[in-house]
Amino acid sequence: MTETETSTQETGSSNEPNPTPLAALLRHWKIGLLAVCLLAIGVYIFGTKFGKAESRAAVQGATASVPAVSVATVAAKTGSIPVYLTGLGAVTPINTVTVKTQVNGQLISVRYQEGQLVRVGDLLAEIDPRPLQAQLTQFEGQLVRDQALLDNARLDLKRFTVLVQENSIPRQQYDTQVSLVRQLEGTVKNDQGLIEGVKVQLIYTRITAPVSGRVGLRLVDPGNFVQTTDTNGLVVITQLQPITVIFTIPEDSIPSVVDKLKRGARLPVEAYDRALQHRLATGYLLTIDNQVDPTTGTVKLRAVFPNEDNALFPNQFVNARLLVETQHDATLIPTMAIQRNAQGAFVYLVNPDQTVAMHKVSVGTTNGDMTAVEQLKAGDVIAADNFDRLRDGVKIAARNPPQT
């Protein structure tokens, strides 16, 4: 065997070749990468747990540091509350008169100021009386003449009466004289009627106020010829004291009102302005209409007001509040304390630990700034402001509401 064959046999007798430097390097790199991954996973797990604990501690610290919300509180109380029916209405005068002339003639004077308050019988204007005075003189002259003729006819009748009894004159002549006396009596009476008519017309030349009230703007100036056929008239007078308000209420409220009227109750009515903020006058219900308006489902009522201060003006728009009854022993809270959400009305009830809780209530009658509610009792303390900062369980610092 040669030296070459011996070398080949020694080489083929080995199963695994010797590792190269590149293979060794790859093997060390894989081991290092695995170690780095394990280290990263450990750091992540530790950091996550530590971060959650730190966040929890931060939240708890922030919650503990939130100050209590300053809230005005008020206690529910027991009392009486009136029940009103409110309706839209208009001020309606009892009397509105358009003053017109009752005789034709020239308007010579106007004795009132626009907007003046007048009483029944006050002189408003004068029409030239001279044509009527001349006519009166003429009729009085006719009366004197016809009265003389009547007196003479009566004397003749007395003579004819004696003569007819003596058969000195025909009966026909006597009857004719009787008829003449009657004719002249009718003429005299007609003259008296003409005189009385002219005297009445002379009275009409002085135009006086037929009702007490306020006069409006002047419609005719002095110097104009006025006639009885004029449509506008001379002036309009509106009665202001007393005055009424006609308003409406829903038809469902009719039974309660009618029941009170049947028992003779005098139901108070208050008139408020358009915004329902200021009370203008106080009166009482006068009557209720006899039918319901089918288009609106309402009925009209008329209330009367003394209106001594002239606070109500004709055709003025008002809100009328009719007092129907008074509820006693009701639980009352300020109206502003009532909040509403999709579930209904609620209040923030103050617990003994000075936290608040949403408490559902049933809202009843409201009068001004007070409302009757259920699901509360007298003495329960509720929040009265800062509602936008309140939630269930929020801590509060209670204070009294400001005095109004």
- Greatest mean pLDDT among 32-36, 242-246, 338-342, 386-390 lies in 242-246
pLDDT, tens only, 19-31: 555 555 556 666 7
pLDDT, tens only, 153-207: 999 999 989 888 888 888 898 899 999 999 999 999 999 999 999 999 999 999 9
pLDDT interval class at 401 (50, 70, 90)? low
* Cβ neighbourhood burial of 122 (10 Å; 0-12, 13-18, 19+): middle
pLDDT at 168 (0 to 100): 84
Of 313 and 60, more confident = 313
Specify the length of the chain in residues.
404
**Does the pLDDT at position 141 exceed 70?**
yes
In this structure, which amino acid lies at residue 285? L
pLDDT at 143 (0 to 100): 95
pLDDT interval class at 270 (50, 70, 90)? very high
pLDDT, tens only, 202-241: 999 999 999 999 999 999 999 999 999 998 999 999 999 9
At 201, which helix (H) or strand (E)? helix 171-204
Average pLDDT for 68-76: 90
pLDDT interval class at 9 (50, 70, 90)? very low
**Does the pLDDT at position 59 exceed 60?**
no
Rounded distance, CA 250 to CA 41, Å? 77
**Does the pLDDT at position 363 exceed 70?**
yes
pLDDT at 48 (0 to 100): 54
Rounded distance, CA 89 to CA 312, Å? 12
Full-model pTM: 0.65
**Any residues with CB less than 8 A from the CB of 273 and at least 6 apart, and which?**
280, 318, 319
For residues 67 and 354, the answer to whether their CB atoms sit within 8 Å is no
Please, what are the domains in the chain? Answer: 69-81+329-399 (2.40.420.20), 84-94+238-327 (2.40.30.170), 99-127+210-235 (2.40.50.100), 129-204 (1.10.287)
pLDDT interval class at 12 (50, 70, 90)? very low
- Tell me if residue 327 falls in helix, strand or coil: strand
